[in-house]
């Protein structure tokens, strides 16, 4: 059984969103096309409380892009994004959702960020995605979405280390690129760790 994992295709990551990924909207038609080829589709949703400690606004004197230590982990500070219940946290309007089996929300604990759809950044808590996929008999996953250099990368790296045969659908991903070519470096890192890039 193979599954499609759609990562964080939410309004705040689209152009004009709070944490805009350049050309992020271009992944939507790719996601819709790939959905027709999979029997099991799951999505991840960045889903932060307003007091989330990854938000620069929750740290006096800090700005988006600054790096801090958050409970022992390095944390890039982000603009306020994907706050639970807001329009920015909703899935892109043009994204087909009818076939989805389940949505896995992440980033809900204000004290730790969660880029991967499987675990938080400290690998302290599990979202349930791995056991859900295993219970469905999934051995192979295809991943696309936003952003290549953060949530897609960490979801793919965890998928490999959990033993899933992991494919990255490259034309269905776009990067934030805080530094130029972060997306390319992320793809190289995924490849080096056994992700099959298509």
> Active-site residue numbers?
8, 106, 151
Binding to ligand VGL in span 17-56, by CB under 6 A: 46
Point out which residues pair with 106 in neighbouring strands.
46
Examine residue 164 and tell whether it contacts ligand VGL (CB under 6 A): no
The single residue among 78, 91, 118, 164 that binds ligand VGL, judged by CB under 6 A, is 78
151 binds, among Zn ion, ligand VGL, none (CB under 5 to 8 A by kind): ligand VGL
Q: At what angle do helices 182-192 and 153-161 cross, to 10 degrees?
A: 0
Q: How far apart are CA 157 and CA 161, in angstroms?
A: 6
Residue 19 near residue 81 (C-beta atoms within 8 A): yes
Shortest distance in whole angstroms from residue 37 CB to Zn ion? 28
Shortest distance in whole angstroms from residue 151 CB to ligand VGL? 3
Shortest distance in whole angstroms from residue 21 CB to ligand VGL? 7
The single residue among 3, 4, 141, 147 that binds ligand VGL, judged by CB under 6 A, is 147
Shortest distance in whole angstroms from residue 44 CB to Zn ion? 11
Examine residue 46 and tell whether it contacts Zn ion (CB under 5 A): yes
147 binds, among Zn ion, ligand VGL, none (CB under 5 to 8 A by kind): ligand VGL
Stretch that binds Zn ion, among 23-31, 40-48, 59-67, 179-187 (CB under 5 A): 40-48
Token couple for 145: 């979405």
- When CB distances to Zn ion are compared, the closest residue is 46
Examine residue 8 and tell whether it contacts ligand VGL (CB under 6 A): yes
- The contact set with ligand VGL (CB under 6 A) reads 8, 13, 46, 78, 146-147, 150-151
Positions in the binding site for Zn ion (CB under 5 A): 46, 107
């Amino acid at each position: 059984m193979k599954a499609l994992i759609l990562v964080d295709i939410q309004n705040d990551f689209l152009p004009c969103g709070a944490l805009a990924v350049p050309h992020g909207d271009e992944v939507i038609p790719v996601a819709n096309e790939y959905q027709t080829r999979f029997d099991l589709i799951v999505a991840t949703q960045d889903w932060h409380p307003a007091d989330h400690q990854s938000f620069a606004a929750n740290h006096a004197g800090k700005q988006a892009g600054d790096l801090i230590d958050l409970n022992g982990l390095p944390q890039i500070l982000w603009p306020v994004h994907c706050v639970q219940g807001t329009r920015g946290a909703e899935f892109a309007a043009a994204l087909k959702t009818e076939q989805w089996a389940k949505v896995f929300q992440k980033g809900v604990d204000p004290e730790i960020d969660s880029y991967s759809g499987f675990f938080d950044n400290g690998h302290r808590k599990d979202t349930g995605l791995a056991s859900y996929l295993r219970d469905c008999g999934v051995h192979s996953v295809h991943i696309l979405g936003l952003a290549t250099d953060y949530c897609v990368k960490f979801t793919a790296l965890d998928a490999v280390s959990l033993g899933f045969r992991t494919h990255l659908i490259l034309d269905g991903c776009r990067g934030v690129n805080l530094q130029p070519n972060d997306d390319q470096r992320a793809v190289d890192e995924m490849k080096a760790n056994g992700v099959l890039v298509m």
